[in-house]
Amino acid sequence: MSTDAQADARRPATLQLLKPGRLPYDEGLALQEKLIQDRIDERITDTLVLLEHPPVITLGRSGAETDIVAAPAALEQNGVTVHRIGRGGEATYHGPGQLVGYPIIHLYERARDIRRFVFKLEEVFVRLLSEEYGIAATRDDEHRGVWVENEKVTAVGIAIRNRVTMHGFAFNVNTDLSHFSWIIPCGIRDRGQTSLAKLLGHELDSGVVEGLVERYFREVFGYSVVSGSTTSGSASSAESDSGTSAN
């Protein structure tokens, strides 16, 4: 066991798990806003939200309108909304069949710094894909996220407020990959997107995959206890993000 893993093992902690199902993006963002303020104020423990969004495009701090290549009429016809948000990075897509995770975590208690935190998020999927499905997934020093050869299977983009993380990861499980043609994903023109279903040649039980993500997340970050799996109450907005972000 590495020194970092040993350090985490000495600090067992409770992780609150929330599974609100499919939420419109603005409702998911409002939920994050409430949870991050509750975590800053120490009203809740570290929390992982696992959910799915209807079709949506988000633009991070480095994103531009030109990262959206689909015509507005085409997006409207497909029920796609567009949101500019405070995470790092450019444009990304969320939609049915994609497991989105929002870790609301005190950074320095679980990872000490942002680079270590992003490394651990990627490690969740590198290990899961290798150990459960025999897929050789890797990191890329130039582009964050988890890759299988030249295609991204998990996107990572976070923001930090008062040492607490928000936003997180998007894992393509049964995602309709054609929807990524609406954007230049993360500003990268010369690489593709993939999904677990594409890699295995069949669709997956989303509940099973969700359970695996939960387990590997707990193992990598050193949580020994999970509390609850219900949604939080109605969310309220909070102050704007500050601090560092990664993508």
> What is d(CA 16, CA 72) in angstroms, rounded to the nearest whole number?
39
Model confidence band, residue 89 (pLDDT cutoffs 50, 70, 90): confident
User: Does residue 168 have an active-site annotation?
Assistant: no
Among residues 166, 186, 204, 246, which one is catalytic? 186
DSSP per residue, 110-137: HTSSHHHHHHHHHHHHHHHHHHHH----
Spell out the domain ranges in the chain.
Answer: 3-223
Residues 223-230: what's their mean pLDDT?
Answer: 75
Q: How far apart are CA 162 and CA 15, in angstroms?
A: 19
Strand partners, 168: 157
Length reported for the chain? 247
Q: Rounded mean pLDDT of 206-234?
A: 83
For 185, left (φ over 0), alpha (ψ -120 to 50), or beta? beta
Is 243 exposed, middle or buried (CB count within 10 Å of its CB: 0-12, 13-18, 19+)?
A: middle
- Which one has a higher pLDDT value, 197 or 181? 197
Helix/strand/coil for 81: strand
pLDDT at residue 15, as a whole number: 95
How much is the pLDDT for 169?
A: 97
Question: Per-residue pLDDT for 97 more than 70?
Answer: yes
**Predicted TM-score of the model (pTM):** 0.86
| 109-159 per-position pLDDT tens digit | 877 789 999 999 999 999 999 999 999 999 988 888 999 999 999 999 888
Q: Is domain 3-223 annotated with CATH 3.30.930.10?
A: yes
Task: Give me the numbers of helices (H) and strands (E) for the chain, helices first please.
Answer: 7, 12
- Segment among 76-85, 118-127, 184-193, 218-227 with least mean pLDDT: 184-193
Predicted confidence (pLDDT) per residue in 22-76, tens digit:
999 999 999 999 999 999 999 999 999 999 999 999 887 766 677 888 899 999 9
Pairing between strand 192-193 and 151-161? parallel
Residue in this structure with the two tokens 């988000």, named with its chain if needed: 58
